[in-house]
Structure formats: structure tokens, C-alpha cells
């Protein structure tokens, strides 16, 4: 994990200084940690959860989704990280869909993503959808949604089982909107910044047409009609995408936003305020979390979001906005907590 964090810092530095020739090498280093190491990290987090005396998050199982904001705290309670194998266990599927090389020449190619379906998923019921994005060196598997031991799956299963949320669909795509693996393909870095086009034209329509969501899917349908039932969130570079793309470009498609340690290229607060001037779509909730010792993202994330309520009247602290900072660095200890908290805030204002 230490190597992954250090590599993340290196990658961000290269990105900001324009040292493009070394970026792919740094990304490869960041993603070289093994599944065994990832498993060890999960065990360590579970032990920390179990031994912590911080009880900001209530253990009550009677909380309704509308009261979920009361559950936001500084730890993931141990019972929410336990793997379920009973009727409360959801499922994970690998999906493929047609995307376009938006960072390149626009040609079609096939992409993969992972999708979590709640326990008892049924076509007779409609489900909210969260898009969950990875960091600069990750891909659709960085959140572990390619494994039955996925911590995201465990958190979702347990939050629903204990009645803390109305369970929803979670999708972890590859956040690069370009066929960068192809010969003469687009830049892997550039492709992060045009992902909004893939969300709008490829991924969301695929999800709406293949799963039981609130959208009334048909060719040329209005994606804004189901925005109250969509959320977008991400770690590091995915946090940047949540701010720059989710709020900055696709506010007509999403109503809930979560940024976890947002990357240095995130729009600053004044730019977001300018983009949203005259915005007709309500921001249902914007949740932020960052570690105080995060040398990669704290400064940039603070500049992007910490002062938003003071510069943009569409964000009201305690109503549809939260900034959470606590001891921590640029790693999954913060990001899993961010997901855990945001999962309880998303869709709570329906």
C-alpha cells in the first residue's frame, strides 16, 4: 500500500509538471501491488474499525434513508465490512458495452465495467444508480468490484440489510474515455477529461437500457428526467471527474456527488460557481472527504470544494453540502470511509 501511495504522489507531480514521458511508468508502478496486498489492507482496516473508540456513526438499525445523514462519521463500523453469504448478499457482474474514443478519433471500441446488483434484484422494481470512479493509476477493478470479497459490496449489502439505505446499483467503469491501448490511440491522461461524453452517450444509456433504473429508456431519451436517481463519486482522479465533469458538465444527469481526495486538476471553487451560475438543476447533495496529511490532494481538494458554500449559493453547508477532513493520507482508509458515508447520503432527499 505504501508503494501505491508514493506512486500516486509521483504520478500527480508528473501530471502537474508536464513530464508526460514518465507518467505511464509511474502508473504501472502504482497498479503493480498484488491482490494479496489489497486483501491485507482490508484486514488492517477491519481491525482498525473494530478497535476504534470513535462512535460518531450510530449502530442503530432503525435509521431510515431520510435520516442517513446522522450516520456519517469517522469510521466504518465493523459490521458493515463483514461479508454476507445469506439472503442479504448482492451480486457483482462484469459487463461490456460499446464506447467511443472521445480523446482520439472517435472510433467505437468495447469497454468493460463492473456492476453491483442489490440482494433480491428484480426487474419489477426500479433502482437508483451510482457511478463510482477510480484514480489515475487504476481501472474498473480498483475498487475491488471484480471480486466476491469486494469491500464495496460488503458495505452495500450490510447498509441495506440493517436498514440504513434503500439499496441501489453501483457501477465501476474505466474512467478513461479513449481507446488508449490501440495503436495510435488517444492519451490515457487526456481521456480522463472527456469522460463526460462517454457517460452521456454510452455508459448511462447502456445501464438504463439493460437494468431496471428509474429512466424511461428509449432512443434519444431525456437523461435529466432521472437525475434525482443518479449519483457520481470517485477517488483522486475520480474525485476530479466528479467535480469537473459530474458537476461541471453533467449536472443535468446527476443529482448527487461525492469527491474523495480530489486530484490537483480539480476546478477551483470559483470556477465551479461560475459554471453553475443560472443552473436550473438542484444539487441534492455534494459530499467531500480528504485526509489532513494527504500531500497529493488536500490542497487541491480544499481549493475546489471547501469554500463552495461561501462562493456559490447552490451549496448550503449542513443541507446539501458537507466537507469532511480527518487524519489520513491518500489511500483507501479515506476512500472506503468516503464511500460508506456517501452511500448513506445519496438518494436521501427523494
Assess contact for 145 and 170: CB atoms under 8 A.
yes
The CA–CA distances, whole Å, from 253 to 53, 199, 244, 248, 250 equal 40, 9, 14, 11, 5
pTM for this predicted structure: 0.83
pLDDT of amino acid 184: 59
pLDDT at 148: 87
Report how far residue 330's alpha carbon sits from residue 346's, in angstroms, rounded to the nearest whole number: 23
pLDDT tens, the chain, 350 aa long? 333 333 333 344 434 434 333 333 334 333 433 343 344 344 444 333 333 333 333 333 333 333 434 457 889 999 999 999 999 999 999 999 999 999 999 999 999 999 999 999 999 999 999 999 999 999 999 999 999 899 999 999 999 999 999 999 999 999 999 997 766 556 788 899 999 999 999 999 999 999 999 999 999 999 999 999 999 999 999 999 999 999 999 999 999 999 999 999 999 999 999 999 999 999 999 999 999 999 999 999 999 999 999 999 999 999 999 999 999 999 999 999 999 999 999 998 75
| pLDDT value, residue 71 | 59
In sequence order, what are the residues at sequence separation of 6 or more whose Cβ sits closer than 8 angstroms to the Cβ of residue 18? none
Strand ranges inside the chain, DSSP E: 91-100, 108-117, 129-133, 169-173, 230-235, 256-260, 285-291, 321-326
List, in sequence order, every residue forming a beta bridge with 235; answer none if it has no partner: 260
CB atoms within 10 A of CB 50: 12
pLDDT at 183: 60
> Strand order of the sheet with strand 285-291?
91-100, 108-117, 169-173, 129-133, 230-235, 256-260, 285-291, 321-326
For the chain, give the number of residues.
Answer: 350
Residue 249 contacts residue 223 (beta carbons within 8 Å): no
The whole-angstrom distance between residue 309's C-alpha and the CA centroid of its chain comes to: 22
Question: What's the sign of the alpha-carbon dihedral 229, 235, 240, 241?
Answer: negative
Measured at the CA of 99, the angle between CA 284 and CA 184, to 5 degrees, comes to 125
DSSP output for 171-218? EEE----S-TTSTT---TTGGGGGHHHHIIIIIHHHHHHHS-BSS---
pLDDT score, position 64 = 39
**Measured over all CA atoms, what is the biggest interatomic distance in the chain, rounded to whole angstroms?**
55
CA 212/CA 215 separation, integer angstroms: 8
Which residue, among 301, 297, 292, has the nearest Cα to 269 in the 3D structure? 301
Strand partners, 111: 97
What is the torsional sign of CA 133, 135, 137, 138? negative
Query: Backbone phi, then psi, for 65, in 5-degree steps?
Result: -55, -35
pLDDT of residue 14: 38
Domain ranges of the chain: 2-345
pLDDT at 73: 81
What was the pLDDT predicted at 72? 78
Cα gap 138→113, rounded to integer Å: 13
| Selection from 346, 332, 21, 345 nearest residue 152 by Cα | 332
Q: What's the DSSP call for residue 279?
A: -
Nearest C-alpha neighbor of 253 from the set 279, 277, 229: 229
Q: What's the CATH number of domain 2-345, 1.10.510.10, 3.40.50.1820, 3.90.230.10, 3.40.50.300?
A: 3.40.50.1820
Q: How far apart are CA 140 and CA 172, in angstroms?
A: 5
Amino acid at each position: 500500500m505504501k508503494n501505491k501511495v508514493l506512486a500516486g504522489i509521483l504520478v500527480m507531480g508528473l501530471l502537474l509538471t508536464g513530464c508526460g514521458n514518465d507518467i505511464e511508468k509511474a502508473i504501472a508502478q502504482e497498479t503493480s501491488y498484488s491482490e494479496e496486498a489489497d486483501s491485507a489492507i482490508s484486514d488492517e482496516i477491519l481491525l482498525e474499525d473494530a478497535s476504534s473508540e470513535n462512535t460518531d456513526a450510530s449502530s442503530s438499525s432503525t435509521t431510515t434513508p431520510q435520516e442517513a445523514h446522522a450516520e456519517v462519521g469517522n469510521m466504518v463500523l465493523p459490521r458493515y465490512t463483514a461479508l454476507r453469504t445469506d439472503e442479504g448478499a448482492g451480486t457483482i457482474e462484469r459487463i461490456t458495452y460499446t464506447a467511443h474514443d472521445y480523446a482520439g478519433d472517435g472510433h467505437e471500441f468495447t469497454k468493460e465495467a463492473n456492476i453491483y446488483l442489490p440482494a433480491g434484484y428484480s426487474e419489477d422494481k426500479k433502482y437508483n444508480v451510482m457511478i463510482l470512479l477510480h484514480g489515475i493509476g487504476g481501472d474498473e477493478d480498483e475498487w475491488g468490484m471484480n471480486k466476491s470479497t469486494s469491500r464495496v459490496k460488503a458495505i452495500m449489502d450490510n447498509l441495506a440489510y440493517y436498514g440504513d439505505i434503500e439499496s441501489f446499483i453501483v457501477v465501476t467503469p474505466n474512467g478513461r474515455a479513449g481507446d488508449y491501448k490501440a495503436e495510435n490511440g488517444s492519451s490515457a491522461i487526456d481521456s480522463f477529461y472527456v469522460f463526460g461524453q462517454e457517460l452521456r452517450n454510452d455508459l448511462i444509456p447502456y445501464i438504463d437500457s439493460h437494468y431496471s433504473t428509474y429512466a424511461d429508456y428509449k432512443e434519444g431519451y431525456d437523461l435529466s428526467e432521472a437525475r434525482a436517481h443518479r449519483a457520481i463519486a470517485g477517488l483522486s482522479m475520480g474525485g476530479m471527474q466528479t467535480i469537473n465533469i459530474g458537476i461541471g458538465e453533467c449536472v443535468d444527469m446527476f443529482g448527487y456527488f461525492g469527491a474523495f481526495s480530489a486530484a490537483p486538476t480539480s476546478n477551483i471553487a470559483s470556477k465551479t460557481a461560475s459554471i453553475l451560475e443560472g443552473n436550473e438543476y438542484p444539487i441534492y447533495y455534494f459530499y467531500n472527504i480528504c485526509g489532513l496529511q494527504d500531500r497529493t490532494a488536500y490542497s487541491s481538494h480544499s481549493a475546489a470544494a471547501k469554500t463552495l458554500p461561501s462562493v456559490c449559493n447552490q451549496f448550503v453547508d449542513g443541507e446539501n453540502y458537507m466537507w469532511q477532513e480527518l487524519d489520513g493520507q491518500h489511500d483507501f482508509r479515506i476512500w472506503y470511509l468516503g464511500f460508506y458515508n456517501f452511500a448513506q447520503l445519496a438518494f436521501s432527499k427523494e
